[in-house]
Amino acid sequence: QVQLQESGPGLMKPSQTLSLTCTVSGGSITTNYYYWSWIRQPPGKGLEWMGAIAFSGSTYYSPSLKSRTSISRDTSKNQFTLHLSSVTPEDTAAYYCARTGGHTWPPRRYEYWGQGTQVTVSS
């Protein structure tokens, strides 16, 4: 059973860089042909796909967030990390990591999800 767990700060100040790590168990992030995504949901709004990192290490980003988003990975720890720079209060959201089996952007569906972690950006 694949399980994903998000971790990182729950509170950020504007202009800082948010870093959230997803730890994967029950499956390797290097296994063909899976893609590992970050998704967020602001309060009262829908899900927004942010980006993904592939089994190969290739990255893909939402055009609206590409300038501020970076995803990296540590294969020895089976983890991948989201970096979102220059955060503002509009970045306040529940953040999720998830797995998808395709490379359609944004993904059509996700097979596994983390529980999510709340991030609040406030001065």
pLDDT tens column, 47-88: 999 999 999 999 999 999 999 999 999 999 999 999 999 999
For the stretch 98-118, pLDDT in tens is 999 988 999 999 999 999 999
pLDDT of residue 3: 98
Contact 40, 47 (CB under 8 A): yes
pLDDT of residue 103: 87
> Cα separation of 75 and 72, whole Å?
10
pLDDT of residue 102: 86
Task: Summarize the confidence of residues 88-97 as an average pLDDT.
Answer: 98
9 pLDDT higher than 90: yes
Task: Summarize the confidence of residues 8-25 as an average pLDDT.
Answer: 98
Contact 2, 112 (CB under 8 A): yes
Q: What is the dihedral of CA 39, 41, 45, 49, to 10 degrees?
A: -10
pLDDT of residue 69: 98
pLDDT of residue 61: 98
